[in-house]
Amino acid sequence: MQEQGAHQLLCAKLGLTEADKLDLTSWKVNLADRWDSLTDPVKITLIGKYTNLSDAYLSVIKSLQHACMEARVKLELEWVEAASLEPESKESDLTVYNASWRKLVEADGILVPGGFGSRGVEGKILAANYARIHKKPYLGICLGMQIAVIEFVRNVLGMTEANSTEFAPATPHPAVVFMPEISTTHEGGTMRLGARRTVLQTMSCISAKLYQQDQYIDERHRHRYEVNPDLVPKLEEAGMHFVGRDETGERMEILELVDQPTDHPYYVAAQFHPEFKSHPGKPSPLFLGFILAASKRLDRYLRSRDFPRSATQT
């Protein structure tokens, strides 16, 4: 009776007649009831710098929820301030440092979202390193992709002073650089924004299978820096493959670790923001893959999918 009364009140407010009344059955069955029925937990640790304001990551949180509903798992989201993973935090607040690392160790999956500025960057690099070395499912978004590249250049290619020119303009090993067409003197309205095409380089990568595409995908962007194209051959030779590139082939869009010798369950990062196109009932493919890997269901899911069809993404 209470639900019926609320429904009638909503219809009245919207000025709907008896014939126009909203049918919420599908919403209730496919969204509300499904969300309430989830019991199998998956613990995701988000490494950010705005963790005191969760709305800063609202699109990311919603995308995780969409993916969890599709994967039939219950989201347990842990927050870690990136700077609290850094050695300086150990000196200033050992309790917070230990608690932050415990959340990382106990995570089923580690997510590094986008962001700006240098604060917490070294903590994010440490998180990406932990995920890579300990084979924890990792999803990097925008800065999270750049972080993964910096970590790999430092610890696999041996360029220990590698960095982004955003954070260390004089770094001797620029792993991430300012995009040549972007103004260095004006910030307003100068980012690479909006929908851009990503051309898939191989049909055998995880991303192609998740998107069910064999040619290209279109996703939204918001960044000024990019992977240094001069380092790409060395990175790919060492096992970090850029399975998605822009239409020129010069700008890196999606990275994955190759199956051998790493045999990593899911180490995927994208320069674009996949969370911007996620919806209930149609989760972002990269978020869905991340959640499935974190809940140890990805292999079964991929085996159940048909071979990627021709690119007809809407």
Please, which contacts does 173-177 make with residues 24 or more away whose CB atoms are closer than 8 Å? 174/228, 175/146, 175/149, 175/150, 175/227, 175/228, 175/231, 176/146, 176/149, 176/150, 176/225, 176/226, 176/227, 176/228, 177/225, 177/226, 177/227, 177/228
Q: Is 142 a catalytic residue?
A: yes
Torsion of CA 77, 252, 273, 73, to 10 degrees: -40
Q: How far is CA 263 from CA 130, 136, 236, 267, 273, in A?
A: 15, 11, 15, 10, 26
Q: Which of 221, 223, 241, 273 is catalytic?
A: 273
Adjacency order of strands within the sheet including 174-178: 163-164, 174-178, 225-227
Cβ count near 312 (within 10 Å): 8
- 275 catalytic? Reply is yes
Helix (H) or strand (E) holding 59: helix 58-71
Kindly name the residue from 142, 166, 221, 241 that is annotated as catalytic.
142
Contact assessment for residue 201 and residue 308, using Cβ atoms and an 8 Å cutoff: no
Residue with tokens 């955003």: 166
Per annotation, catalytic residue among 86, 122, 219, 275: 275
Q: Which residues are catalytic, by number?
A: 142, 273, 275
